[in-house]
């Protein structure tokens, strides 16, 4: 709140494509997709049309004892994207709620199978899964959890597979195996008490865009299967094409027991999240007894408008061959960013699909403490929306950048970086 006395809020009037416009007519290239949600640009005509048509049909109906075409169609399309492996969807409104659902569903499923002692969860250092009490317990980002630590259930927090931790001569795969070995040691001791392991496949986003090898995802899947523990893949930020496949787990050619989606699934239009799971988990709740049923709900679960936005988003993926086109766009932006990649004050320049990040080599403690705020303010001055995480600068732009947008983003980013680093 105090920061906004010196860096006032930007009053956005409208959006168009990758651009946001304020009431003074100044524009800003939304290089972080408004916190990773806006995949196909603001005021996208195809999503707009789908929502307008849905408004004339059904705006909302409760999803208790009722259903509707948008939620059924969306569930079927998402299941098909997993080849039917994750054939069941449970809906909510936001990413943290999806994580809460996955945690609760894992525990309750084991209890229904006579394994009620499996009540512990495993997460990774630097992981972020949301800020409700359950999700925050498996989050390891101090700025979010420290104030509420006494409210949180204890968890096992293990080594991150972050490739930046590589020792001399060590590859990203070897870092991944080292992290997986730590998990194996824990599971040998505590598997009878552990309900699930939760990870962000390939990129730990809010923890500083820590990228890791798909080998880690493969090993976690192998270990969870071997020790009878659920695997929760939090793809809230990394799903929907962000890493180069529609689902990040596809890079490792494995499927989790629970997959959480939100953010980009509705194209950045409306709050929507969901948890996908397997037949055996579904079967564990199938009973005449209400106590064995999975009890979690809110009034707007499976909202038809949000589901319609998601269906329109999936249709764009299909019609525009987005995953393939994103690879072309990613190569183009990486080429434009090449001068920054070798900048003397940049370290760990990295990319995964449509995510780019690098760490600023900041020596001055005062600059380090204020880097993110200064960078945000400087970026606004140069018509960019960017919000570093500490001293980590990242890009997660929408999937619609033109050649001109790409060059503009790369050039202005370097200008902003040089300006902040010379302060």
Tell me: pLDDT of 423 over 80: no
Taking all residues of the chain, what is their mean pLDDT, rounded to a whole number? Answer: 97
Tell me how far the alpha carbon of residue 356 is from its chain's centroid: 14
How many residues appear in the chain? 423
Q: Which whole number is the average pLDDT over 173-183?
A: 98
Rounded Cα–Cα distance for residues 257 and 259 (Å): 7
CB-CB contact of 372 with 388 (8 Å): yes
Domain ranges of the chain: 2-30+325-421, 49-319
The number of beta carbons lying within 10 Å of the beta carbon of residue 411 is: 14
Tokens of 301: 């679960």
Tokens of 314: 């999936």
Segment 382-392, tens digit of pLDDT = 999 999 999 99
Tell me: pLDDT of 377 over 80: yes
At 357 the pLDDT is 98
DSSP string, 286-310: -SS-GGGS-----TTTT-HHHHHHH
At 5 the pLDDT is 85
At 239 the pLDDT is 98
CATH of region 2-30+325-421: 3.90.1150.10
CB-CB contact of 275 with 101 (8 Å): yes
State the pLDDT confidence band at 7, using cuts at 50, 70 and 90: confident
CB-CB contact of 329 with 399 (8 Å): yes
Tell me: pLDDT of 260 over 80: yes
State the pLDDT confidence band at 193, using cuts at 50, 70 and 90: very high
Q: Which residues contact 413 (CB under 8 A, 6 or more apart)?
A: 31, 337, 340, 379, 384, 386, 393, 395
Segment 288-303, tens digit of pLDDT = 999 999 989 889 999 9
At 297 the pLDDT is 85
CATH topology of domain 49-319: 3.40.640
- Per DSSP bridges, beta strands 203-204 and 273-277 are unpaired
Rounded Cα–Cα distance for residues 150 and 5 (Å): 32
Tell me: pLDDT of 309 over 90: yes
Nearest Cα to Cα of residue 105 among 196, 12, 218: 196
Segment 209-235, tens digit of pLDDT = 999 999 999 999 999 999 999 999 999
Tokens of 206: 């809010």
Nearest Cα to Cα of residue 350 among 238, 179, 149, 208: 208
Q: Which whole number is the average pLDDT over 398-422?
A: 97
Q: pTM for the whole thing? A: 0.97
Tell me: pLDDT of 361 over 90: yes
Tokens of 81: 């994207």
State the pLDDT confidence band at 28, using cuts at 50, 70 and 90: very high
Tell me: pLDDT of 286 over 80: yes
At 40 the pLDDT is 98
At 6 the pLDDT is 82
At 334 the pLDDT is 98
Helices assigned H by DSSP within 300-388: 304-319, 322-336, 338-341, 365-381
CB-CB contact of 281 with 232 (8 Å): no
- Per DSSP bridges, beta strands 203-204 and 210-211 are antiparallel
Percent of the chain predicted with pLDDT > 90: 96
For the chain, helix, strand, coil in percent to 5 are 45, 15, 35
Segment 80-97, tens digit of pLDDT = 999 999 999 999 999 999
Rounded Cα–Cα distance for residues 113 and 99 (Å): 21
- Strands (E) located in 190-297: 194-199, 203-204, 210-211, 230-234, 258-261, 273-277
């Amino acid at each position: 709140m105090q920061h906004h006395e010196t860096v006032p809020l930007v009053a956005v009037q409208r959006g168009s494509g990758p651009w946001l416009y304020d009431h003074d007519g100044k524009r800003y290239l939304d290089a972080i997709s408004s916190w990773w949600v806006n995949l196909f640009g603001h005021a996208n005509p195809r999503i707009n049309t789908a929502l307008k048509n849905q408004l004339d049909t059904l705006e909302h109906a409760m999803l208790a004892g009722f259903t509707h075409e948008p939620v059924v169609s969306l569930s079927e399309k998402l299941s098909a994207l997993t080849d039917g492996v994750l054939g069941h969807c449970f809906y909510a409104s936001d990413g943290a709620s999806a994580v809460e659902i996955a945690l609760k569903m894992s525990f309750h499923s084991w209890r229904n199978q006579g394994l009620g002692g499996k009540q512990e969860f495993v997460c990774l250092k630097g992981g972020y899964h949301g800020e409700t009490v359950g999700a925050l317990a498996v989050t390891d980002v101090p700025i979010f959890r420290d104030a509420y630590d006494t409210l949180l259930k204890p968890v096992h927090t293990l080594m991150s597979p972050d490739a930046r931790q590589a020792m001399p001569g060590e590859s990203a795969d070897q870092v991944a195996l080292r992290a997986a070995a730590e998990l194996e040691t824990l599971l040998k001791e505590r598997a009878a008490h552990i309900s699930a392991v939760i990870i962000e496949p390939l990129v730990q986003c809010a923890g500083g865009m820590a990228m890791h090898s798909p080998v880690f995802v493969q090993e976690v899947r192998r270990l969870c299967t071997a020790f009878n523990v659920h695997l929760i893949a939090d793809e809230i930020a990394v799903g929907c094409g962000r890493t180069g496949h529609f689902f990040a787990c596809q890079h490792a050619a494995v499927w989790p027991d629970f997959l959480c989606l939100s953010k980009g699934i509705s194209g950045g239009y409306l709050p929507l999240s969901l948890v996908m799971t397997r037949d055996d988990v579904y079967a564990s709740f199938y009973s005449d007894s209400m106590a064995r049923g999975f009890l979690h709900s809110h009034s707007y679960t499976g909202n038809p408008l949000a589901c319609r936005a998601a269906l329109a988003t999936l249709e764009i993926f299909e019609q525009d061959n987005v995953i393939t086109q994103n690879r072309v766009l990613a190569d183009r932006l990486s080429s434009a960013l090449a001068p920054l990649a070798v900048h003397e004050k940049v370290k760990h320049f990295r990319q995964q699909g449509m995510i780019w990040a690098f760490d600023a080599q900041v020596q001055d403690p005062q600059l380090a403490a204020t880097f993110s705020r200064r960078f945000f303010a400087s970026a606004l001055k140069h018509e960019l929306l960017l919000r570093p995480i500490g001293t980590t600068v990242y890009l997660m732009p929408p999937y619609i950048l033109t050649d001109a947008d790409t060059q503009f983003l790369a050039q202005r980013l370097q200008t902003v970086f040089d300006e902040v680093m010379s302060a």
